[in-house]
Chain A
C-alpha cells in the first residue's frame, strides 16, 4: 500500500536560515510520481514540483531544491535563505496507479513551516 510520511509536523526557522523538509514514501510500484505542494494561509494548494521514479536527478529552482533518493525512498525539499513568504504548510505526495488502472494520490500530513522575521 502507498504511504507518505512527513515526520516533521511543525518547523520554525529564523529568516535567512536554510530548512529541509523531509518526505519518506512507500510503494510497491516501479513507476510512480512524487510531488510537493505548498499551502499558504489562504488555503489553496500550489503545485511546486513533480518527479518520476526514473529520474533521480536533483532539481533546483531559485531558492528551492529537491533531493530524490530511491535507495532511501526519500524526496526531501530544501529552502535556502528562507523568507517570511515561505511560511506555509508543505505537502509531499505520491502517485501511482491502482489495480483498476486509476491514478491514486497519497498525501503526507504536511509540515507547517513558520519563518520568523
Chain B
C-alpha cells in the first residue's frame, strides 16, 4: 500500500531564515505530487505541483520554491521566510496515470516569528 511522509511535523522559524520541508511517497511510481498551504481557518491553496522529476509548476508567485530531485521526493524551500509564510503545509500525491483522488500527508505546521 502507498504511504506519504512529511517532516518535520512542526517548525518554528524566525523571519528571514531558510526553509526546507520534505515529502516522500512510498509504494507507487511516477506519482503526481502537490504542495498546498492552509492558513488558519482557511481553505487549501495549491502552491506547486509536479508530474515528474525536475518538472515543477507554480500556481502562486511568492518566495517559495519546490524541487523534485527523485521520483517520490518533493521538497518545498525558501531562502528567506516571511511572516505571511506561516501556515499548515500539506503534501499530496495522486496516481499519475489515473488522475483520481489525491492522498495527503500529515502536514507540517510552520510558524514564522
Contact = CB atoms under 8 A, between A and B. Distances in A.
Contacts of B92: 45
Nearest to A4: B43
Contacts of A43: 88, 90, 106-107, 109
Interface residues of A, number: 20
A63 interface: no
A47 B101 contact: yes
B31 to A, nearest CB: 11
A103 interface: yes
B24 interface: no
Interface of A: 33, 35, 37, 42-47, 50, 91, 95, 97, 102-103, 105, 107-110
Interface of B: 32, 34, 42-44, 46, 49, 51, 57, 88, 90, 92, 94, 99-107, 109
